[in-house]
Structure 1
Amino acid sequence: MRLRSLGALSALALLTLPACAAEPISDVFLSRFTWQSTGETFGGFSGLELSDDGRSFVAISDRGSIVAGRIERTDGKISGITSGEIERLTTPSGGELGQSEQDAEGLAISPTGTRVISFEGTPRIWAYGDKGATELPLPPAFGSLQTNSGLEALAIDETGALYTMPERSGGLTQPFPVWRLKDGRWSQPFEISRSGGFLPVGADFGPDGALYILERSFSGFAFQSRVRRFEIDGDAIAAERTIFTSDYGSFDNLEGIAAWRDEAGTIRLTMISDDNFNILQRTEFVEIRVEE
């Protein structure tokens, strides 16, 4: 989601504090790294996927672009980012995205390598393969999603089933519906609870089969992030726990999340922030571990 309320510089001033603050105090926090680059298309990263070994990544921007790169680590901490050129996404007909079509938010990569992207402004899901983009069929329920709060999170499980959810549920205590596309048919197998002012912004299935959901809260001055882990059993949630909650202002606007297992066998969650193309924000990678 593009936070259009971030125009007031006085409110955003607090967002610059973590850049020079001490490392966040958390048992699961591993590292953070600010990714800097030049060019008008750099920024706004809203979705993230990593390779199984955590060394390669693909990220999408809510300005309708995609980029691939490598993550360097020293002593287990992120120490560098290298990437190729940022490329513009195209429509299923091969044309350029219009300004109102660019709001790419969710990214998931299928077992066959297809890059599936959800868009928020006009809710839709496109699958990008070797021959370009293909528009996936959508259920009627997507037509009633709130403006600028559409399909924010996207994830694919090991069977190839696609899961997505909106950023807003329609009420402060109303759960978020989770939709699933499996065997060519949409269903809404379960929902996740809403609490603490947090809204879902990213999702990924981990190597343990669990669904990890990244959530964000915005105070008007700073961001707070939370990650919840869900064990899915068929059409129901079998178990849920919160594995990470940051303090306000610890990190920037974290929106993308990817789960993978390192050489020591530990599941890591790598997250990326959306800087809203604002000079007072930054693009940062943040990494935590999952305590099993």
Structure 2
Amino acid sequence: MRLRTVLATLTAGLAAAGTLTAAGPANARPATNTVTDKAVAVATPTAGHAATGHACSPAVSLDHFSDALDKTVFDGTFVGNLSALAVERDGSLAALSDRSSLFRLDAKTLAPTSVVPLADERGAALDSEGLAVDRDGSRLITSETEPSVRRYSRDGRILERLPVPSSLLVAPAGRATSNQTFEGLTLLPGGHTLLASMEYAVSGDSAGIVRFQTWRRHHGRFALSAQYGYRTDSGLGVPEVQALPDGRLLVLERGFTAGVGNTVRLYLADPRHATDTAGIANLTGQDDVRLIGKTLLTDLVTCPSQGATAGQPQPNPLLDNIEGMAVTGREKDRVEVLLVSDDNQNAVQTTRFYFLRVRVTR
């Protein structure tokens, strides 16, 4: 989503940031502003590194970060404004720009290998925010202007448009606010259920309670299904959500305060026992509605900065406008998670990739 100021509670984060020290040199940026077909170098974490040097919390560690794609161009397209990530069937990465471009990246080097333009049915640009790669290789992509969910072929043709509840449409058609709708998108295990997360509450719901909408696959097509409520921390929105193999969710919460910087928190959430809120007009925290439960995994302000620099005030120079997330690997009770920040094509912001290891024990 485009840069906006969201007043967020940062007292705890700022206190933690004051204790941070650099843990090593930042990844060098490219010498030019153009990415070619040559591999982009990305630092690799040292094998067997001490957890204390990389720990953000007992559950999360930061292996390394990369600014390799910051302010670069590929095939005439600016590589930035990245709002979502997904793993392709061949193991490469899909990276979605909110300026209607879908990049394919090499999973090891992050070097772009292709870019596909996207558009709506009239050929107009999208505010593309959420991305999921379906089992047939097609791409499910949200736009937060209507909002909408469309299915695209690999070459960018529209194949299908999913239904959206009228209440989640932008006013006056519905109760949502423009630029505050579908940001996150993920397929649940098995690929039969698609879930999209609203970024902020709709009119009539209590501030901080956002709706997660699902679709269930019937005869090869997705139809509207259950809806759930999720309560964010004060002043924060939901830019991304990703499903885990057991049906739980990783949820990013994010906010921005001018002159202070970003707040980014990673939660483990469980929708499996939440109330279906599709038929509930207003979510006000009523006792008979069970919201999605959540557990804090980490506030990223506590991660080691690893020598990162910031072009604007941040409570930790590692932080930026983080919007995209993908689960890229798993081993026992841990998953590898890749985050990316949306630089808004702004000179003081950075396109930065964050390589995390996350423990997700029950």
- Partners of 2:292 and 2:142 lie apart in 1 by 26
Matches within 5 A, 1:1-292: 1-3=1-3, 22-23=22-23, 26-27=56-57, 28-36=61-69, 37-38=72-73, 39-51=76-88, 56-72=92-108, 80-92=109-121, 96=123, 98=124, 101-129=125-153, 132-133=157-158, 134-143=160-169, 144-159=175-190, 160-170=192-202, 173-183=207-217, 184-221=222-259, 222-233=261-272, 236=275, 239-247=293-301, 248-249=315-316, 250-262=318-330, 266-291=334-359, 292=361
- Partners of 1:265 and 1:140 lie apart in 2 by 39
- CA 1:174–1:197 in structure 2 vs 1: closer, same or farther (change >3 Å)? closer
1:173-205 deviation digits (Å, cap 9, x = unpaired):
441111111134324432111213221001111
Give the CA deviation at 1:230.
1.4
- Residue 272 of structure 2 aligns with an amino acid whose one-letter code is D
Residues 5 and 255 in structure 2, CA contact (< 8 A), matched pair in contact too: no
Residues 173 and 195 in structure 1, CA contact (< 8 A), matched pair in contact too: no
Residues 111 and 158 in structure 1, CA contact (< 8 A), matched pair in contact too: no
SS at match of 2:110: strand
Residues 269 and 295 in structure 2, CA contact (< 8 A), matched pair in contact too: yes
- Partners of 1:151 and 1:126 lie apart in 2 by 12
- Residue 26 of structure 1 aligns with an amino acid whose one-letter code is C
- Which 5+ residue runs of structure 2 have no aligned equivalent? 7-20, 24-53, 170-174, 276-290, 302-314
SS at match of 2:233: coil
Residues 49 and 107 in structure 1, CA contact (< 8 A), matched pair in contact too: yes
Percent of pairs with identical residues? 24
1:106-153 deviation digits (Å, cap 9, x = unpaired):
111123322100001221111113582122222212222101111111
Which residue of 2 is the match for residue 9 of structure 1? none
- Residue 295 of structure 2 aligns with an amino acid whose one-letter code is R
- Partners of 1:290 and 1:211 lie apart in 2 by 12
- CA 1:172–1:2 in structure 2 vs 1: closer, same or farther (change >3 Å)? farther
How many aligned positions are there? 265
SS at match of 2:168: helix
- Partners of 1:58 and 1:130 lie apart in 2 by 11
Give the CA deviation at 1:51.
4.7
SS at match of 1:71: coil
TM-score (norm 2): 0.66
- Partners of 1:40 and 1:260 lie apart in 2 by 25
- CA 1:227–1:112 in structure 2 vs 1: closer, same or farther (change >3 Å)? same
- Partners of 1:152 and 1:238 lie apart in 2 by 18
Residues 207 and 261 in structure 1, CA contact (< 8 A), matched pair in contact too: no
1:192-234 deviation digits (Å, cap 9, x = unpaired):
1121322100111123432111111111131121111112326
SS at match of 1:84: strand
Residues 5 and 257 in structure 2, CA contact (< 8 A), matched pair in contact too: no
The structure in which a higher percent of residues are strand is 1
Query: What CA RMSD, in Å, does the superposition of the two structures yield over aligned residues?
Result: 2.7
Residues 52 and 261 in structure 1, CA contact (< 8 A), matched pair in contact too: no
TM-score (norm 1): 0.81
- CA 1:264–1:32 in structure 2 vs 1: closer, same or farther (change >3 Å)? farther
- Partners of 1:176 and 1:5 lie apart in 2 by 18
Structure 1 residue runs of 4 or more that deviate by more than 4 Å after TM superposition: 234-239, 262-265
- CA 1:253–1:108 in structure 2 vs 1: closer, same or farther (change >3 Å)? same
1:5-28 deviation digits (Å, cap 9, x = unpaired):
69xxxxxxxxxxxxxx82476242
Give the CA deviation at 1:280.
1.4
